[in-house]
Amino acid sequence: MNTAALDTPPMTSPLGTTGMEISRVGFGAWAIGGPDWAVGWGAQDDADSVRAIRHAVERGVNWIDTAAIYGLGHSEEVVAKALAEMPEGERPYVFTKCGQVWAPNDRQSKLRMGRRESIVAECEASLRRLRVERIDLLQMHWPAEDGTALDEYWGALLDLKAAGKVRAVGLSNHNADQLAAAEAMGHVDTLQPPLSALKRDAVARELPWCLAHDTGVIVYSPMQSGLLSGAFSAERVAGLAGDDWRSRHPDFTGENLTRNLTVAAAMKPVAERHGVSQAAVAVAWVLAVPGVTGAIVGARSPAQVDGWVSGANLALTDEDRAGIAAAIREGSAGSGPIPD
C-alpha cells in the first residue's frame, strides 16, 4: 500500500461532456443547511461549515454540491460565504438543484414542483444566494409531483443552459426511462443517484445508461448518511437528536440498522489493511463502480473532510471487495445488485 498516494490531492475525471474535470470526491452541503426544516441534520455552526468547505478545497476537492431546499436556501448562502474570499481562479465548481420549494409560512414543507416559471424563478434565487453569475451545474432534484410533465421542466433547464444562466444541466433521482425521455429533447449532462454498499439500485439500469450516453454521474450518500463511516453504533443512533432526520428513518431503526452496521463492520478490517478510515473505504467502494464519475461526501467540520478525502485515491483489492460483498449477502443488507 502506497500511503503517500493517499495524501495527494484527489484524482480527477471528466464530468461527461461538460468540459469540467472534477475531483473524484465533492463536498456535499446538505447537512450544513442546519436544523429547523423537514430533513435537517440538527444544529450546525455556520463557522464550522465555512471552515469545512475551505479545508476541502485546500485538500484538492474542486466542486461543491448543494440544493435550494437544504436549509431552505441557507446551505447555498453558507457556500457563498465560504467562497467569498477565495481568488476567482481557486474557487471550486458549484452545483445546485431545483424543483423542491417550500411554503413561506411552513419551514417543514417540501414541495416537488416542475412548472417552467418555478424552475426559472428558483434558478434566479439560487444565483442570488450563491452570489454567482452562472451556476456550473443545475439539476432537477426529483421528478415533479405537481402534475408537471418531464418535458416542461427539462425544457426549462435546457433553456437556462442556452441562455448562459447555467453551464450544464442534469437530473437527480430519475430512472433510466426518464433519462431516455429527457435525452430525446437535449443531452442529459449528469445524473445524481444515491449509491452506497447499502443502496445499489442504480447499478442495474441507470449507470449502464449513463455509460452508453456519455452522461457524467455524481452519486450521493456513499456512506449512507454516516452508517458506513465507522462512527455509528446502536447506542449512537439511539442518542440522535429529534431534529436529525436520521432518528426516524428506517435505515437507522430495528433490523435494518443491525444489517447495515454488519456491512459497516466488514469495512473495518479493509480500512486497517490500508491505513485509512472506514469512511474512506465506503467512498472508494462507490468510486470503483463502473460509470461513477465522482461521489458527493458531506462534512460538518474540517476533521470530517480529512476522514474521507483519501477515499478518492484508494484502490480496493479483490479481497477487500469480496469481504464487503459477503457481508451484504449474508445480512441481506440494502437493495440492488452487488457490482462485480
The C-alpha cell of 135 is what? 451556476
Backbone angles phi, psi at 25, to 5 degrees: -125, 140
Cα–Cα distance measured from residue 321 to residue 305, given in angstroms and rounded to the nearest whole number: 24
Q: What number of other Cβ atoms are within 10 A of residue 332's Cβ?
A: 10
Alpha helices per DSSP H over the chain = 46-58, 74-83, 116-130, 150-162, 176-183, 206-212, 234-238, 254-274, 278-287, 302-308, 318-331
Q: Please list the residues that pair with 335 across neighbouring strands.
A: 199
Query: Considering 70, 93, 153, 220, which one is annotated as catalytic?
Result: 70
Cα–Cα distance measured from residue 35 to residue 260, given in angstroms and rounded to the nearest whole number: 25
What does the DSSP 8-state code read for residue 165?
S
Q: What number of other Cβ atoms are within 10 A of residue 139's Cβ?
A: 28
Cα–Cα distance measured from residue 192 to residue 206, given in angstroms and rounded to the nearest whole number: 10
User: Under DSSP, is residue 27 helix (H, G, I), strand (E, B) or coil?
Assistant: strand
Whether 70 sits among the annotated catalytic residues: the reply is: yes
**Where in the sequence numbering do the catalytic residues fall?**
70
